[in-house]
Structure 1
Amino acid sequence: MIVLASQSGSRRAMLEAAGIPFRAQPAHIDERALEASLEGAAAAEVAVALATAKAQHVSRETSGAVVLGSDSLVSCGGRRFDKPASRENAAEHLRFFSGKVMELHSAAALVRDGEVLWAEAALAQLRVAELSDSFIAGYLDAEWPEVAACVGVFRIEGRGVQLFEAIDGDYFTILGMPLLKVQSALRRLGVLVR
């Protein structure tokens, strides 16, 4: 059994569906302060650092356990985006994404007793359709506040799919964790057996 250092329902659902035994213990770290300390770093590097910090934080409280941390970042048009702070902020994000390619970096890290066993990021590129103000308003009427917890202001498994014209990347990365890479790493560590 692993420990998931997250309160994300999407990440829990992925592990449950894959049949990977786990228990969840959210990490409480100052993500914005860590991001600020990595000013100028590539988005994938920041995502890996956040995933690793979450796993390391929880590993201090779970001696001997393999802890899985994960994080996702969106970049678009040279800017990095966090989860929207309000519905108005979500609408601003969507207006900015309109007609552009959104890059979603999802990272994961496995840590035991503070030691990083593995960490990696995956990239999905999502081409956002041209979004009218009326579409954005209707979309947020249907999806807010659920998408407040979603970087990129969408749930691909729901109405969020309507935002996109094309997607290059795997489904799990888009859901918020590079699950195929995580499974491979867990197998190499002997945590999962084939």
Structure 2
Amino acid sequence: MVAYDHKKDTAVRRLVLASSSPRRRELVASLGLSLPVLILSPDVDESTPPDWTPVQIVEQLALLKARAARSLLAEDEDRNAVIVGADTIVVLGGEVMGKPKDESDAFRMLNLLQSQDHEVYSGVACVHADDKSREAVSHRMTRVRMKPLGADQIRRYIASGEPMDKAGSYAIQGLGATIVERIDGCYFNVVGLPLSLLSDMLAEFGVEVF
């Protein structure tokens, strides 16, 4: 994590979440921050070099999203804000799994994941809206084991629609909880926003969760 001296900082008066994910919105809301929260959904190119590690992918995409959201803020808006970007991927045996392209791709992912241990990486970036020198980025990794699944079970889960916008084609906070056998690490990291990490990073900007 990149840290910096915030003794010269003035108080942050707004948090901007650079994500269209309803799950991340709910997680930020669960922190009960006294700050108003603005939601922005920047349109960014999420393609990455093939030689990037999972850590590089999630950290750099989280930072890219946060910076893109900064550029969307209007000039007359309160610029004394911290912007949060996040990115999540699933990794199995070196293969990076993002959101499925279609139902066939979702079936392929779930069929590979069943009965296997895999890793979920989430990157988190915090950037100041008005001071480009103030940026912090980090990540968390959680190991997940999925239960053995039959082809019919996978198809029924896909038919629910839940896998179609999720990294790795499952949602641990939804029906996907029924196909996960165990996890080792932060649960909220698998949902898409590790709250313990986020709270530490916000503290670097003078924003205390409690």
TM-score by length of 1: 0.91
Change (3 A) 1:116 1:95: farther
Question: 1: CA distance between counterparts of 2:209 and 2:119?
Answer: 33
Pair 1:27 & 2:42 matched: yes
TM-score by length of 2: 0.84
- 1:64 Cα deviation after fit: 3.7
Alignment of 1:105-124 (within 5 A): 105-112=121-128, 113=130, 114-124=132-142
Contact 2:31 2:209 in 1 (8 A): no
Give deviations 1:101-157, integer Å, cap 9, x for gaps. 121001100012433521110001101122110110121223x1x321110111112
Greater shift in the superposed pair: 50-59 or 62-71: 62-71
Amino acid at match of 1:100: Q
Greater shift in the superposed pair: 152-161 or 66-75: 152-161
Question: 1: CA distance between counterparts of 2:173 and 2:98?
Answer: 20
Pair 1:191 & 2:203 matched: no
Identity of paired residues, percent? Answer: 28
Structure number with larger C-alpha Rg: 2
Question: 2: CA distance between counterparts of 1:14 and 1:39?
Answer: 31
Indicate the residue corresponding to 2:60 in structure 1: 49
Pair 1:60 & 2:71 matched: yes
Give deviations 1:42-89, integer Å, cap 9, x for gaps. 101110000000001111233442110000011102211110011111
Indicate the residue corresponding to 2:18 in structure 1: 5
Q: Structure 2 stretches of 5 or more lacking a match?
A: 1-13, 74-78
Pair 1:168 & 2:179 matched: no
Match 1:130 to one of 126, 131, 148: 148
Q: How many residues align?
A: 188
Q: Structure 1 stretches of 5 or more lacking a match?
A: none
Greater shift in the superposed pair: 8-17 or 181-190: 181-190
Greater shift in the superposed pair: 14-23 or 70-79: 14-23
- 1:193 Cα deviation after fit: 5.8
Pair 1:40 & 2:56 matched: no
Indicate the residue corresponding to 2:91 in structure 1: 75
Amino acid at match of 1:128: M
Q: Would you tell me which structure has more helix in proportion to its own residues?
A: 1
Question: 2: CA distance between counterparts of 1:80 and 1:189?
Answer: 32
Question: 1: CA distance between counterparts of 2:21 and 2:209?
Answer: 25
Amino acid at match of 2:29: E
Computed over aligned residues only, the root mean square deviation of the Cα atoms, in angstroms, reads 1.5
SS at the partner of 2:72?
coil
